[in-house]
Amino acid sequence: MKKKNLDRRKKLKLKIRKKIFGTPEKPRLVVFRSNKHIYAQIVDDINHKTLLQVSTLSKDVKQKIDGVSGKVAKAKIVGNVIAENAKNLNISKVVFDRGGYLYHGRVKAVAEGAREGGLKF
């Protein structure tokens, strides 16, 4: 059952990646979620560079999520922090890559947090 779900997500991820492409002007905001943590990256696909990365394991995020309960609330904070850091790099527009996950729960919370932080997609 678990392998079947992973194969399904990989197929979806490839299908999404065919259509979504990050440029230096409008990079790709990638979301990955594990059972415990959520990760968000802003990637420039033309130059093959990760411009910035934030997760629930990052030092600046750990301070903000102390006392916050629930993975969805923590994911929203990750979205907010990545938007703040993107502003420092003069990035205001991104393309959202949900990574084969459903746009629901933690993935949606990252997107909403990034929107609240000022990113447009």
Cα separation, 113 vs 83, whole angstroms: 8
pTM value is 0.91
* Tens-digit pLDDT string for the chain (121 aa): 677 888 898 999 999 999 999 999 999 999 999 999 999 999 999 999 999 999 999 998 999 999 899 999 999 999 999 999 999 999 999 999 999 999 999 999 999 999 999 999 8
Asked whether the beta carbons of 32 and 105 are under 8 A apart, the reply is no
Cα separation, 106 vs 43, whole angstroms: 20
Domains and CATH numbers, the chain: 2-117 (3.30.420.100)
Q: What was the pLDDT predicted at 45?
A: 94
